[in-house]
Structure 1
């Protein structure tokens, strides 16, 4: 049983005349008659009583009409739902993002996205395995540090930033215009734990600079690190623009000479359909950052 056959059947139910129904469908009367016979043969029961030029629905025809109307309506509902999905009226967007400071800075974008597309459900998954989540089709979009090219992925560079030293305004270095890598060695620091992307980036940079730094306290939250800086527990090394997003009081940002740099990519699978919602979110990310 095909959708086309059900559509022919319903038109005949409406017109109760083969010639009129065939005309409105846009096919010949013999073609319509043949398709109805195929349908009746499949069901093993007549759907119409033929009385010369007049026809009437049988009990089986009445029953099939009821269900056929539901089928066609559900198909129409599906088409409209997909159309709405393409128009960003409904649907779901899943995003894998580096944890810590970056997922925090997404909040403003998520708010704007929600205002513009209130019926699109957004799920954000903080993870250091953004690329793998994309490759596994667990998420639609990934946000990660710049990586070597992968032929399976579309990679869009969207942001590059340097790191700075953040200290309490009463810190001895608070008035400095810049700080050298060597000066970081003896400063009590509060940092992310090793294994976090931000910490690994800093440790790799330190090796290249020929220095070794240590932390007096570690936490996986950018917010808590800045709170520790506010309390003068230690200084922290974070992306230079991050302080603007915390509206912190009593914290000073000091540029680091030859500072660590991180480059961020938006990634998605090349062989997977990128929804309009995903395209819109990517555009927001690029414009915002």
Structure 2
């Protein structure tokens, strides 16, 4: 029996849904299903009863759920105690950040981490989404905070990464404040200002631009693109009435401008994640991720 299998089991038991559990763990549904089957073979009993419509825990599954929670808690306590006992943990950790995405949790967390591990040098490097993807590919950073956008699953490159979701946010259409009128639909917003979509150049915004165009196309909108060189210019251009933009809700909230308003796009979400290569050889990554776990369990969503 592997610790990983217990974590998979507990996640399925939490949601009573294999698809939702797989999404949280960033693995495929067949993978998690196979691991549960292997676990059932090892313990010699069925842990779930399955029908075409739902699943539920068997009495044996309920018993394992209780014990597995204790086991995982004990393991995490042991790891934390071991790390605390080792006062020689030292080195350098290069972290890619986007800026607005981490603002709601990173200042307090990084300060706490540095206090606990003063011998670890944290090097923060800020990127836009497209340049962050490039930094990952070129191994310029050990880990980074990135966005799981709709096109994310199309990237074969990221199949070689581990991910931890920190919170989920909505995508929204950013507009000049004066254009925010009751009852206006997404199509009306997108066609303001001659239908211009203000967005960072593809070399900078990367897959974010593809996602924005795809989402607008799904709503029957094919805008012209007005490229910018950075996020600040994008928002300033929208404030100035040069077009509209499509961004996560936390971006305009962090920018905090009275000249901007935004409309949530229904059923369109992104995950803010921490990511690192599966074959990464910096041992400090595990230390960092372990300390980040309480943040991950606390911040779930950023929308009503």
> TM class, shorter-chain normalised?
0.5 to 0.7
The answer for the alignment partner of 1:176 in structure 2 is: 182
After superposition, where does 1:94-105 map in structure 2 within 5 Å?
A: 94-97=94-97, 102-105=98-101
> Could you tell me whether the CA contact under 8 Å between 1:189 and 1:214 is conserved in 2?
yes
2:115 aligned with 1:115, yes or no? no
SS of the equivalent of 1:84 reads coil
Pairwise CA distance, 1:202: 0.5
The answer for the alignment partner of 2:55 in structure 1 is: none
The answer for the alignment partner of 2:274 in structure 1 is: 266
Pairwise CA distance, 1:277: 2.9
Pairwise CA distance, 1:283: 4.4
TM-score normalised to the size of structure 1? 0.55
Pairwise CA distance, 1:248: 1.1
The answer for the alignment partner of 2:290 in structure 1 is: 279
2:154 aligned with 1:160, yes or no? no
CA–CA distance in 1 between the matches of 2:139 and 2:289? 14
Instruction: Provide Cα deviations, 1:177-231, integer angstroms capped at 9, x if missing partner.
Output: 452336513434422223423212101223444431113x422322222222333
The correspondence for 1:212, drawn from 205, 213, 222, is 222
Contiguous gaps of at least 5 residues in structure 1 = 1-81
TM-score normalised to the size of structure 2? 0.53
The correspondence for 1:83, drawn from 74, 82, 86, is 86
CA–CA distance in 2 between the matches of 1:226 and 1:136? 29
2:175 aligned with 1:198, yes or no? no
Number of aligned residues: 199
The correspondence for 1:245, drawn from 254, 264, 268, is 254
The correspondence for 2:235, drawn from 216, 223, 226, is 226
CA–CA distance in 2 between the matches of 1:201 and 1:237? 9
The change in CA–CA distance for 1:91 and 1:253 in structure 2 (over 3 A counts) is same
Bigger share in helix:
2
CA–CA distance in 2 between the matches of 1:137 and 1:129? 12
> Could you tell me whether the CA contact under 8 Å between 1:177 and 1:254 is conserved in 2?
no
Instruction: Provide Cα deviations, 1:53-90, integer angstroms capped at 9, x if missing partner.
Output: xxxxxxxxxxxxxxxxxxxxxxxxxxxxx93354xxx5
CA–CA distance in 2 between the matches of 1:143 and 1:243? 18
2:144 aligned with 1:142, yes or no? yes
The answer for the alignment partner of 2:264 in structure 1 is: 255
CA–CA distance in 1 between the matches of 2:243 and 2:271? 26
